[in-house]
Amino acid sequence: MNLLFIQGGSRLKLSDKGLWYTDPNFTAEIWNRYLDVCDKLTILLRRERKIYEDSEARSQFNVIPQDDRIEVIALDDLMLPKWNYLNYILRRRVKKTIFEAVENCDKAVIRSNTDYTYYAYQACKQYDKAYFHEVTGFAYEGLYYQSFMGKVLASKMEDRQKLLAREADYALYVTEHALQKRYPSNGKMLGCSDVNIGCPDEEVLKHRLDSLMKPKPKIVIGTCGRIADKNKGQHLVIKALAALRDEGVGNIEYQLVGFGDPQGLQKLADEYGVGEKLKFIGGIPYNKMMEWYDNIDIYVQPSYSEGLSRAIVEAMSRACPVICSDVGGNSELVDAEFLFPRGNIASLAVKLHLMMQNDNMGKSARMNFEKSKSFERGLLDTKRHEFFMEFISSQDK
């Protein structure tokens, strides 16, 4: 079984030792989900032009396992620089590569919704190949709130997402209800998060509650997400910090984890007089993320769009209090008391202030920790593997 995997959001990074790396979305455990059911796994992702020193890459990214069963195909980036999007020659070359890879595979896994995955869908239809579609987010909102070009493309990509899900032989959703309602499939459907956490340890909750009892010189809040992605909403937190300062709540540090140029957010923070409150951490490999969650007091996910946020579940598994926007599957995770309307800075500021009062942090920590137990890796892996094996063993078209 030659299984093809394609996703157009994440980028491959090449090190000077010839090793391929990805962002923290993909770990060795995730690749093993596919390797467990196939003889060969062909991975298609777009790549960065930069070649990293291996030590730098290893400190920031996740290495793709060196396994004879894995073939990596690096695709040209159609999104960066921006003028590549209209480069007909480049686009034709990407499409040709994807069609050839699909022709040579037995079945395909199409994750998310991009031009790359749409080409894979077209190829599956042309070569009569079954495909497994992983639905990870809302297409319209994910583009609309990013840029002018995103607003132009949002409706088109929303229609494509509906098509990819509807025509899939098997569709896996990271939410229990939200994505399924928007993007139903004519094939078989399953709701199962792609979170990768171990069994939550009761000692983690005890340590969190003990730390909440100690006096703190400042409250550390944090967000994980691409720094340059406006859809992630870090600018909303910055403006909420300014609002809280005006109300006399100033003892807050805001840590931002993620890749991208921080200058824009730093400039905004300086303009609002809260520049000294920001701390840009950069990228953190997955195996070090748990330590970061343990060292912040409140996790904030201010996104304009989410499917089901892995970062929120990871923070919950560390008994971290969470505040987030009321988008996507967030309401399936966090109590309504700590949700705020998308883009509403005033409400976000109120929720932050509320969380810091009385025992609300302890209350949130306990609730989140208990909720995270339903996302334990073993439970999800079994559920997902059985569904995936059903797809693999299903009769070919």
Decide: 349 and 375 in contact? Cβ < 8 Å.
Answer: no
pLDDT single digits (tens) 29-49: 899 999 999 999 999 999 999
pLDDT single digits (tens) 80-126: 888 998 999 999 999 999 999 999 999 999 999 999 999 999 999 99
Model pLDDT, residue 216: 87
Model pLDDT, residue 397: 52
Q: Do the domains 202-373 and 2-196+376-393 match in fold?
A: yes
Distance CA 365, CA 322 (A): 8
Q: Does position 310 have pLDDT exceeding 80, yes or no?
A: yes
Q: Does position 23 have pLDDT exceeding 90, yes or no?
A: no
pLDDT greater at residue 358 or residue 23: 23
Model pLDDT, residue 196: 83
Distance CA 94, CA 97 (A): 5
Decide: 110 and 101 in contact? Cβ < 8 Å.
Answer: no
Which tokens sit at 4?
């093809």
Model pLDDT, residue 393: 94
Q: Which residue has the tokens 């499939």?
A: 185
The mean per-residue pLDDT over the stretch 377-381 comes to 91
Domain segments of the chain: what residues? 2-196+376-393, 202-373
Fold that domain 2-196+376-393 belongs to in CATH: Rossmann fold (3.40.50)
Task: Name the β-bridge partners of 43.
Answer: 5, 72
Q: In percent, how much of the chain has pLDDT > 70? A: 99
Model pLDDT, residue 49: 92
pLDDT band at 149 (very low <50, low <70, confident <90, very high): confident
Model pLDDT, residue 287: 80
Decide: 17 and 56 in contact? Cβ < 8 Å.
Answer: no
Model pLDDT, residue 396: 62
Which tokens sit at 184?
């139903």
pLDDT single digits (tens) 189-231: 999 998 888 888 999 999 999 999 898 899 999 999 999 788 9
Fold that domain 202-373 belongs to in CATH: Rossmann fold (3.40.50)
Model pLDDT, residue 279: 97
Nearest to 239 by CA among 274, 197, 290: 274
Quick one: three-class SS letters along the chain? CEEEEEEEEEEEEEECCCCEEECCCCCHHHHHHHHCCCCEEEEEEEEEEEEECHHHHHHHCEECCCCCCEEEEEECCCCCCHHHHHCHHHHHHHHHHHHHHHHHCCEEEEECCCHHHHHHHHHHHHHCCCEEEEECCCHHHHHHCCCHHHHHHHHHHHHHHHHHHHHCCEEEECCCCHHHHHCCCCCEEEECCCCCECCCCHHHHHHHHHHHCCCCCCEEEEEECCCCCHHHCHHHHHHHHHHHHHCCCCCEEEEEECCCCCHHHHHHHHHCCCHHHEEEEECCCHHHHHHHHHCCCEEEECCCCCCCCHHHHHHHHCCCCEEEECCHHHHHCCCHHHEECCCCHHHHHHHHHHHCCCCHHHHHHHHHHHHHHHHEHHHHHHHHHHHHHHHHHCCCC
Decide: 190 and 168 in contact? Cβ < 8 Å.
Answer: no
Nearest to 132 by CA among 382, 388, 383, 393: 388
Distance CA 34, CA 346 (A): 44
Sheet-wide strand order for 252-257: 278-282, 252-257, 219-224, 298-301, 322-325, 339-340
Distance CA 6, CA 36 (A): 17
Q: Does position 58 have pLDDT exceeding 60, yes or no?
A: yes
The mean per-residue pLDDT over the stretch 265-269 comes to 97
Which tokens sit at 122?
């077209």
